[in-house]
A and B are shown apart, each in its own frame.
Chain A
Amino acid sequence: MELTIERGSLLKSLGHVQSVVERRNTIPILSNVLIEAADGSVSFTATDLDLAIVDTVDADVKQSGATTVPAHTLHDIVRKLPDGAQVAISLDADGAKVKLSAGRSKFTLACLPRDDFPVMSEGDMPFRFDLGAADLKRLIDKTRFAISTEETRYYLNGIYLHAAETDGVQMLRAVATDGHRLARVELPLPEGAAGIPGVIVPRKTVSELRKLIDENDEVITIALSDTKIRFSFRNAIVTSKLIDGTFPDYDRVIPSGNDKSLEVDTKLFADAVDRVSTISTDKSRAVKMELDTDRLTLSATSPENGTATEEISASYGSGELTIGFNSRYMLDIADEIEGDVARFQFADAAAPTLVLDSADEGALYVLMPMRV
């Protein structure tokens, strides 16, 4: 194997895959990235056995071949090389060492044989459909904040992707919840996605995907089975196992009869919540909302610091109501609302509250109040 590649594209490509590699590994080969060179391009593969990413980039390949080298070391080296450098990579004859040189810098890296590198078996993926990068980004961004980090409820540690019907229209839905709040985003079901099984995409896969989307304005092909999902970008392929669990029947916690409706300016609201919550010292940072005709008063109390209140104008007419929330939860949701107006629908101080986005009908958030 022998190739030359420009430092910038090498760095970008390694950047796409190296974060899959865990910092500590008991299986040495999992610390390595697989390099495969052939026909004018080189591809890099990294895996943690649950998730694999392959990124392919153009290169001047003099001799095709493949090997594996420590991923983080390689990434660190390339990161420190000067901008614009041409990087030459070659595998020595007995396959034990990789030489890397750029200008006057020379490195020799120990390598492990490519045959030891675990290949994720994809199996049969009966479903396949396309999704625009912007759509996938929307599904992820508007739900990922609600993914649970509590490992005992592993089935909540991801985004639940599935087909469902809203008002007679078939939709592709993404849902995440941590048991305190829930986010649900949908879009019309893409062609080919009819009948897909509901799948839970793990948190790590979600964040790796999100990195790839940022740089790709393109169409992504998604293929899936009961146990695996694959996202094919122009230059990269992400293959991931799915969380083996049952996502809870979330529909029943989405309230339908909440009749007290509040509309506020999203930005005014978020800023005010942020300011008021400054006063509270504990982790939950409770903020109380007091509603009266066309008026919303936000307040927070801390036995140590004192109190804060802020009144903002709002459109409301359903009688007085006082309800408390974790301010961080409110801010997370406000961050994802695109429209100028955020719409709240309350039942009472102890029941789930609905939050809607005036600019995105397909997005819906449920928030559980706090007793303060």
Chain B
Amino acid sequence: MSLRLLPENIVNQIAAGEVVERPASVVKELVENAIDAGARRIDVIMTGGGRSLIAVTDDGRGMTGDELKLCVERHATSKLDDDDLLNIKHLGFRGEALPSIASVSRLTIGSRKSDADGMLADDAWELAVTAGQKSNLRPASLPAGTRIEVRDLFFATPARLKFLKAERTEFGHAIDAVRRLAMAHPDIGFSVTDGERTRLRVREGSADLFEARRARLIDIIGRDFGENSIAIDAGRDGYKLTGYAGLPTFSRGNAQYQYMFVNGRPVRDRVLQGAIRGAYSDLLAGNRHPIVALFLDLDPLSVDVNVHPAKAEVRFEDSGRVRGLIVSAIKHAFAEAGLRTATTASQAALGSARPGGYAGQGQLSQMSRNRPVYSQHAGGYGTPGMRETTLQSYAPLAQGNTEGYAAEPRARMNENPGEIEDAAAINYPLGAARGQLHETYVISQTADGIVIVDQHAAHERLVYERVKQALLENGVARQILLLPEVVELDPGHADRLVERVDQLAELGLVLEAFGDGAVVVREVPALLGETNVIGLVRDLADELAELDQSLGLRERLEEVCSTMACHGSVRAGRALTGDEMNALLREMEATPNAGQCSHGRPTFVELKLHDIEKLFGRR
């Protein structure tokens, strides 16, 4: 066989192999093009899981007949100003998507152009491309914007067709892609239809960007997320992080619900995922994952988006800084927010609360099932610190109403209720302790509700924070090794560790270079006991390579602290006196992250009076 340049159609099919992996990739590319075209509304139709038809219609600026002919050519793009690949401001920049799609399907594009002043052209045009073969341009009759239809995807590359999953699965991936784009563009309305039913519809948002985004996230992730997340707004040196981070008590068993965007582009990036894990490291058990929607904006020159065929990954110029920003922003926001725990927990409690006794029972429980009640106060966006919220919503009337609840005859009572400045204590966020039930739960009365505290979980958190504090203040005791361990590593990895000997020593790990590509470990953190030194060092080295930072060692130390805390704290089943209970509540208020134990379970739930009233049909 002789050496030759491949025909263009084959080149496009090869590119398609990378760019167009499955129907969801087509949907993503087409919707991105519509967004780039300034559309206000984008409608997607998919039938047969995208195999038979994918149609995307937008009301963007459209294309002229000439542009139409050009857009399916390889490397034709209108989006790279100044031919500068470093300065990317659109979602597209390669001019690769349309020719790739066209080379493996039957593509039809119809478009009607509006010029820069919004003047609509008189004529509209249509072009068909079958497996890369262009037809002639035909006049068409169309409203403003562009409509692209992709039929029989992969018919030209049967091998790819074989790898497609069930229709439902492919549809799911596609809708997920649209969802992510919709989160990043609240000003645009989106719909996805499967030919019969509308599966996603979000209306274009209001003008106010901040509110619009919040509303869009609630539309897409769910109202629960709105109530159980805190606003993140942090920035430094041209890096800006905004969005919402879910409460640890509102976590999931997998990391699927972590939506991350870099300059408006949805990404799944390991640096970002690692940073989120780091930020929640001592708030969640290892197998739980937070729900977050985070938007990172930075100078396009500081991030390379051209590293992945589907643009799903990016490379940061300074990933350490990105990680630092995310970890500190989230940790800080939670510390600020203080006592918050998922309202879903109290909703679940309310849901299972059944009015006791006689008539009307059926009707009432019916009601509490049909009308889920949402706490109004707990979920306020951008209101860090619960004390404020509570005080604001404090009303004398509510206090009057609660008096009747104070005397619960079977509860363990404060021995000396008189000693407690009731009026004052009640104004604390966690209120005044009223009693202990089942020697496990502390019940307290707040200005506008009641709080139930799990005494073991709460105390565990307090002890943990104390142990951790002590660790940070006093330094880590180090066990010197009788048999120093030599750990073989890649040369680069070894160097990276050696560069950080001081930082590692602070955390109790003393090592030094040992020839090429190895380190010798001489001292280890005594807290870890007899530990797998080689494993520890390898993990740290990997982490350094990936993130430029080592959180792993600190995380492991924190894990030990958390086990110690678990053993060192008040167990369920111990009777507490009134003073002990109040002391516990006050300490919880003063301790960061006291809303959940280190495994992510809530330490307390709050029932607002107003919700309780609903239970009794008073509202």
Q: Which A positions have Cβ atoms within 8 angstroms of B?
A: 148-152, 177-182, 248, 253, 281-284, 286, 303-304, 324, 326, 350, 352, 366-372
Contacts and interface: CB of A to CB of B under 8 A. Distances in A.
B532 interface: yes
B195 interface: no
B527 A180 contact: no
Given A150-B531, A283-B529, A304-B466, A180 B481 contact: yes
B531 A370 contact: no
18 contacts: A148-B530, A149-B530, A152-B532, A179-B485, A180-B481, A180-B482, A180-B530, A182-B482, A283-B527, A284-B526, A304-B467, A352-B482, A368-B479, A369-B480, A370-B478, A371-B477, A371-B478, A371-B480
A350 B474 CA distance: 20
B560 A283 contact: yes
Interface string B558-579: 0010001000100000000000
Given A283-B560, A283-B564, A304-B466, A366 B482 contact: yes
Interface string B459-487: 00000001100100110011111110100
The 8 residue pairs across chains A and B that have the minimum distance between CB atoms? A284-B526, A303-B470, A368-B482, A371-B478, A179-B483, A368-B480, A152-B532, A372-B477
A253 B482 contact: yes
A179 B529 contact: no
B523 interface: yes
B535 interface: yes
B68 interface: no
Given A179-B483, A371-B478, 19 more contacts: A148-B530, A149-B530, A150-B530, A152-B532, A180-B481, A182-B482, A253-B483, A281-B564, A282-B527, A283-B527, A283-B529, A326-B479, A326-B526, A350-B480, A352-B482, A370-B478, A370-B479, A370-B526, A372-B477
Contacts of B479: 180, 284, 326, 368, 370
B534 interface: yes
Contacts of A177: 482-483
Contacts of B533: 179
Contacts of B532: 150-152
A333 to B, nearest CB: 13
B535 A371 contact: no
A100 B12 CA distance: 79
Contacts of B467: 281-282, 304
B520 to A, nearest CB: 13
Contacts of A324: 477
A181 B482 CA distance: 6
Interface string B474-509: 100111111101000000000000000000000000
B527 A178 contact: no
Contacts of B482: 177, 179-182, 253, 352, 366-368
A366 B531 CA distance: 19
B481 A286 contact: no
A369 B530 CA distance: 14
Contacts of A369: 480
Contacts, number: 75
B477 A370 contact: yes
A332 to B, nearest CB: 13
Contacts of A284: 477, 479, 526-527, 529
Contacts of A152: 532, 534-535
A352 B479 CA distance: 12
Contacts of A370: 477-480, 526
A300 B73 CA distance: 77
Nearest to B473: A303
B3 to A, nearest CB: 53
A178 B530 contact: yes
A372 B480 CA distance: 11
Contacts of A180: 479, 481-482, 530
A91 B403 CA distance: 76
Most buried by B among A352, A366, A369, A371: A371
A371 B533 CA distance: 18
B119 to A, nearest CB: 73
Contacts of B564: 281-283
A170 B331 CA distance: 64
Contacts of A367: 482
A366 B481 CA distance: 11
Nearest to A179: B483
Nearest to A352: B482
Interface in B513-553: 523, 526-527, 529-535
A73 B479 CA distance: 45
A60 B480 CA distance: 59
Contacts of A182: 482
B423 to A, nearest CB: 34
A182 to B, nearest CB: 6
A248 B485 CA distance: 11
A371 B523 contact: yes
A281 B560 CA distance: 12
A213 to B, nearest CB: 26
Contacts of A372: 477
Most buried by A among B483, B527, B534: B483
Contacts of B534: 152
A341 B396 CA distance: 74
Nearest to A249: B483
Nearest to B522: A350
A111 B534 CA distance: 46
Contacts of B530: 148-150, 178-180
A303 B481 CA distance: 25
A282 B478 CA distance: 12
B482 to A, nearest CB: 4
A148 B466 CA distance: 31
Most buried by B among A151, A181, A367, A370: A370
A178 B479 CA distance: 12
A214 to B, nearest CB: 27
Contact of B481 (A150, A282, A304, A368): A368
Contacts of A179: 481-483, 485, 530, 533
A326 B532 CA distance: 18
A151 B477 CA distance: 24
Nearest to A248: B483
A150 B479 CA distance: 16
A61 B315 CA distance: 79
Most buried by A among B470, B474, B477: B477
Contacts of B529: 283-284
Contacts of B535: 152
Contacts of B473: 303
A150 to B, nearest CB: 5
Nearest to B560: A283
Contacts of B478: 370-371
A177 B483 CA distance: 9
Contacts of A286: 477, 526
B400 to A, nearest CB: 43
Nearest to B526: A284
Contacts of A283: 526-527, 529, 560, 564
A266 B495 CA distance: 47
A248 B484 CA distance: 11
A142 B478 CA distance: 26
A323 to B, nearest CB: 10
B483 A304 contact: no
A370 B529 CA distance: 12
